[in-house]
Chain A
Amino acid sequence: MGRVGRALVWHELLERTRDRWVVVISVLFALLASGVGLYGRSAEVDVAKLTGPSLVTLASLLVPLVALILSHDAIVGERERNTLGLLLSLPIGRFEVVIAKFLGRSLALAAAVGLGLGAAMLVSEPEGVRALLALMGPTLLLGLAFLSLGLLISSVARRQVTAASVVVVVWFGLVFFFDLGVLALLVISDGGISQQAVTDLVVSNPAGLYRVQMMRAFAGPEVLQELGISAGLPGAATTWLLWSGWLAIPTLLSGAMLSRRKVV
Chain B
Amino acid sequence: MREIQARGLSVRLGSVQALDDVSIRLLAGRAMMLVGPNGAGKSTLIKVLLGLVRPDFAVFEADGERVRIDNEWKRHIGYLPEAVAFSDNLSGYQVLRFFAQARGVERRRIGEVLERVGLGHAGRRAIRGYSRGMRQRLGLGVAILSKPDLLIFDEPTAGLDQEGLTVLWSVIDEWRSAGRMVLASTHDLALMERRVDEICVLREGRLIAQGSAEDLRHSAGLPHCIWLEVDPAAEAKVALLCEAMRKWGKGRIERVGDRIRAEVPADEILEVVEIQGGFPGVVQGIRVEEPTLDRVYDKLLGAA
Q: Which positions in A face B, CB cutoff 8 Å?
A: 3-4, 6-8, 10-11, 14-15, 18-20, 81-83, 85-86, 88-93, 262-264
Contacts of A19 in B (CB 8 A): 89
A58 vs B74: C-alpha distance when bound (angstroms): 46
Q: Tell me the smallest distance from the CB of A24 to a CB of chain B, in Å.
A: 13
Residue contact A15 to B89, C-beta cutoff 8 Å:
yes
Nearest A-chain residue to B71, judged by Cβ:
A91
Q: Tell me the smallest distance from the CB of B295 to a CB of chain A, in Å.
A: 32
Nearest B-chain residue to A6, judged by Cβ:
B101
Q: Tell me the smallest distance from the CB of B304 to a CB of chain A, in Å.
A: 25
A169 vs B100: C-alpha distance when bound (angstroms): 39
A232 vs B75: C-alpha distance when bound (angstroms): 55
Nearest B-chain residue to A88, judged by Cβ:
B52
15 A–B contacts, CB within 8 A, in A order:
A7-B98, A7-B102, A8-B102, A11-B101, A15-B90, A83-B81, A86-B79, A86-B142, A88-B50, A88-B51, A91-B75, A92-B102, A93-B71, A263-B52, A264-B53
Contacts of B104 in A (CB 8 A): 3
Asked whether A14 and B83 contact (CB < 8 A) given A89-B50, A92-B71, A263-B53, the answer is: no
Residue contact A262 to B86, C-beta cutoff 8 Å:
no
Residue contact B52 to A81, C-beta cutoff 8 Å:
no
Residue contact B54 to A262, C-beta cutoff 8 Å:
yes
A20 vs B128: C-alpha distance when bound (angstroms): 13
Q: How large is the interface on B (under 10, 10 to 19, 20 to 34, 35 or more residues)?
A: 20 to 34
Residue contact A89 to B87, C-beta cutoff 8 Å:
no
Residue contact A91 to B72, C-beta cutoff 8 Å:
yes
Contacts of B52 in A (CB 8 A): 85, 88-89, 263-264
B239: interface (CB < 8 Å): no
Contacts of B75 in A (CB 8 A): 91
Contacts of B82 in A (CB 8 A): 82
Contacts of A90 in B (CB 8 A): 74, 99, 102-103
Nearest A-chain residue to B44, judged by Cβ:
A263
Given contacts A18-B90, A90-B102, A263-B52, could you give 9 more A-B pairs where the C-beta distance is less than 8 Å? A4-B102, A4-B103, A7-B98, A10-B101, A15-B90, A81-B85, A88-B50, A89-B50, A89-B79
Asked whether A263 and B103 contact (CB < 8 A) given A83-B81, A85-B47, the answer is: no
Q: Tell me the smallest distance from the CB of B276 to a CB of chain A, in Å.
A: 54
Q: Tell me the smallest distance from the CB of B6 to a CB of chain A, in Å.
A: 16
A10 vs B98: C-alpha distance when bound (angstroms): 8
Residue contact B142 to A18, C-beta cutoff 8 Å:
no
Asked whether A3 and B102 contact (CB < 8 A) given A15-B87, A90-B74, A91-B71, the answer is: yes
Contacts of A86 in B (CB 8 A): 79, 81, 84, 139, 142
Give the residue among B51, B83, B139 with the most A Cβ atoms within 10 A: B51
B77: interface (CB < 8 Å): yes
Nearest B-chain residue to A262, judged by Cβ:
B54
Mask, B49-70, CB within 8 Å of A = 1, is 0111110000000000000000
Residue contact A82 to B81, C-beta cutoff 8 Å:
yes
Contacts of A89 in B (CB 8 A): 50-52, 74, 77, 79
Residue contact B85 to A83, C-beta cutoff 8 Å:
yes
A20 vs B89: C-alpha distance when bound (angstroms): 9
Residue contact A7 to B89, C-beta cutoff 8 Å:
no
Mask, B76-113, CB within 8 Å of A = 1, is 01010111111101100010001101111000000000
Residue contact A85 to B50, C-beta cutoff 8 Å:
yes
A88 vs B72: C-alpha distance when bound (angstroms): 13
A89 vs B101: C-alpha distance when bound (angstroms): 14
8 A Cβ contacts from B240-284 to A: none
Contacts of B1 in A (CB 8 A): none
A82 vs B153: C-alpha distance when bound (angstroms): 13
Nearest A-chain residue to B70, judged by Cβ:
A91
B13: interface (CB < 8 Å): yes
Nearest A-chain residue to B85, judged by Cβ:
A81
Give the residue among A10, A88, A89 with the most B Cβ atoms within 10 A: A89
Residue contact B98 to A82, C-beta cutoff 8 Å:
no
Contacts of B99 in A (CB 8 A): 90
Partner of A85, one of B79, B87, B90: B79
Contacts of A6 in B (CB 8 A): 101
Contacts of B53 in A (CB 8 A): 262-264
A8 vs B97: C-alpha distance when bound (angstroms): 11
Residue contact A263 to B13, C-beta cutoff 8 Å:
yes
Contacts of A92 in B (CB 8 A): 71, 102
Contacts of A264 in B (CB 8 A): 47, 52-53
A206 vs B53: C-alpha distance when bound (angstroms): 36
Asked whether A11 and B98 contact (CB < 8 A) given A19-B89, A264-B47, the answer is: yes
Residue contact A82 to B89, C-beta cutoff 8 Å:
no
Partner of B89, one of A3, A18, A88: A18
A81 vs B99: C-alpha distance when bound (angstroms): 16
Contacts of B90 in A (CB 8 A): 14-15, 18
